[in-house]
Amino acid sequence: DAGITQSPRHKVTETGTPVTLRCHQTENHRYMYWYRQDPGHGLRLIHYSYGVKDTDKGEVSDGYSVSRSKTEDFLLTLESATSSQTSVYFCAISESTTGNTIYFGEGSWLTVV
Amino acid sequence: DQQVKQNSPSLSVQEGRISILNCDYTNSMFDYFLWYKKYPAEGPTFLISISSIKDKNEDGRFTVFLNKSAKHLSLHIVPSQPGDSAVYFCAALPRKTGNQFYFGTGTSLTVIP
């Protein structure tokens, strides 16, 4: 198993509160990603990082921000959580730009009430 | 705009028979394709991949076929086993445009004993 740890694994929060999800890797992989999984939509990319302090938006980035201050950590922040952000969030990592596999963490279940 | 599509949300197959999962894509820049398997409450795990320079890749009971002209790939599982019951995602990676993986919406496979 790839060394990816997500925290918290489960969280219930109220609308309008800030939430931060953490992803920690021990593989020293260059690329890190945050995806969300929703019924009927599959896995959709929120943000990704291609190096320390280098990040870019994915297809569903509105309402989310990320930071990567160290190779091993990638943080996803919901500045003001909304019910539409209730989802399962997966962190993933990969190493190179071509023909490479992406490895996923166990997921973080977030419920916004 | 979904660039990777799995048009069958679910599939049921008898144990021992062949399971065929399909995936279509629209972006001709995709040149590497992957299949992932996901059990409930777990992260997706890598199953098999194929480069666009090939039309077939086999790994044990799993074979992926790629038809570039039709922009179609399929995953064959033979023989199907109850433990194969899971959600299967196909994914695609475009060449030379970074490391952004695009996922389909998933197909839920049920293998009936």
> pLDDT for B25-79, tens place per residue?
998 989 899 999 999 999 999 999 999 999 999 999 999 999 999 999 999 999 9
**How far is the C-alpha of B54 from the C-alpha of B76, rounded, in Å?**
16
A4-112: what CATH class? Answer: mainly beta
Asked if B103 and A90 come within 8 Å (Cβ–Cβ), the reply is no
> pLDDT for A90-105, tens place per residue?
999 988 655 578 899 9
Query: pLDDT category, B99, cuts 50, 70, 90?
Result: confident
Q: Where are the domains of chain A?
A: 4-112
Domains in chain B, ordered, with CATH?
Answer: 4-112 (2.60.40.10)
**How far is the C-alpha of A101 from the C-alpha of A70, rounded, in Å?**
22
Query: pLDDT category, A39, cuts 50, 70, 90?
Result: confident
Contacts of A92 in chain B (CB under 8 A): 101
The H-or-E segment that residue A4 falls in is: strand A4-7
Chain position carrying tokens 């991949």: B49
Asked if B100 and A100 come within 8 Å (Cβ–Cβ), the reply is no
Asked if B43 and A107 come within 8 Å (Cβ–Cβ), the reply is yes
- pLDDT at B111 (0 to 100): 97
- pLDDT at A98 (0 to 100): 54
